[in-house]
Amino acid sequence: MTCNKRFFDIAAPELSNIEVSTLLAVLNSTLIGFFKTFYGRFTGTEGSLDTEVVDVNLLDVPDSRGIADGIVHKLECAFQQLTMRPIGRLVEDQLMNCHSPERARKIAEGPIVLPEELQKQDRRALDDAVFELIGIGTPDRRKQMVNRLYEETARHFRQIRVVEIQKMEQRSAAGGRRFGADELDADAWDAMEADDVRPLREWLSEQKVGKKTITIPDGGMAYLASAQDMFDACVVSFGKDRKIRLKGESRAQAELIARLANLGIRGKIILPVDEEDARHLLEALETRLSEARARFEMLASSRTGTEKLHNDVVDLLMHWFVHGRSNQRSGERAMGQMRT
């Protein structure tokens, strides 16, 4: 890899192998990431930082020379775990999913919500070891320092993100660009302010009824025979040829299975055994979905100008509501099923 003013090569020939490995861990700590924001110069007005060699040479770095064996072990273990996963952002998740300046300002007025990266145990273990390296001996004091560091880091990047959102809207207005469906989806979801947006699987698992594990097979749309069918009233069939069949414990459970399947739920799921419990759960599910859709319809109407874009936004918001915000659009089949 070629080193240049955007990609630096750091060498420390006077350090031992152990000291080099601990220095590598220290340089990837949150403390150094936070210190770095005080050096260099901003490029433009959105908070993007340009760091050059002169700035790196000025950067304060905890000294790893003569480091104690106990701290070496803590740093190496924490850093090893850190390298085995993707590193997340230092911006609050709700702000990353926000595209409205008004909503961003409202979020910024509220309490700090640590981004997922600053909630990881390996990150906290690394930062705790760095504070121990610089002489903070008691665990309670280090915990306080890490908490304060995380709060100030999140606050710093919060301010940058708010300005970034404002600038994006200004550029959009200047260029006449319309927001796409994905941007509108994220903004509407962020503005929903619902108390309960747990994925459907999680919501189902917390229902306090007698339960049994059911495996919903793959196989396209789910179909139910007539409730008056003498033999198959409790059978759910799948696909155009309806060769894949799953028998419920009762008609109510079969209706629940079919509904979940047509929402895109597949694999193992825990459902009530008792027919009355299954009926009540199905009613609660329909209420939950209808209330969410009504809210999404209102949010989409305030953000879209065409029927197609409106429907796309509502469909994806319902998909997130059922499967979780982190899951992306899983194809037109799932969206079509969710409209039913």
- As given in the structure block, the two tokens for residue 81 are 């775990």
pLDDT number for residue 340:
41
- As given in the structure block, the two tokens for residue 131 are 């504070």
Nearest to 294, CA basis, from 305, 284, 286, 283: 286
- As given in the structure block, the two tokens for residue 32 are 């150094």
Whole-number Å distance between alpha carbons of 143 and 137: 11
pTM passes above 0.75:
no
Do residues 225 and 235 make contact, with C-beta atoms less than 8 angstroms apart?
yes
Do residues 130 and 62 make contact, with C-beta atoms less than 8 angstroms apart?
yes
Torsions phi, psi of 268, nearest 5? -75, 135
pLDDT number for residue 37:
86
Which residue matches tokens 């750091």? 10
- As given in the structure block, the two tokens for residue 338 are 């969710």
pLDDT number for residue 80:
95
pLDDT number for residue 304:
65
Whole-number Å distance between alpha carbons of 82 and 211: 38
Nearest to 44, CA basis, from 192, 196, 163, 221: 163
Whole-number Å distance between alpha carbons of 93 and 296: 20
Whole-number Å distance between alpha carbons of 292 and 296: 6
Do residues 127 and 30 make contact, with C-beta atoms less than 8 angstroms apart?
yes
Per-residue pLDDT of the chain (340 residues; tens, 9 = 90+): 788 777 888 888 899 999 999 999 999 999 999 998 888 777 666 667 778 888 888 999 999 898 999 999 999 999 999 999 999 988 888 888 787 888 888 888 889 989 999 999 999 999 999 999 999 989 999 999 999 999 999 999 898 888 888 777 766 655 544 555 666 667 666 666 556 778 888 888 777 666 788 888 887 888 888 888 878 888 988 888 888 888 888 888 889 889 898 898 988 888 888 888 889 989 999 998 998 888 888 777 766 667 788 788 888 888 888 888 765 444 433 444 444 4
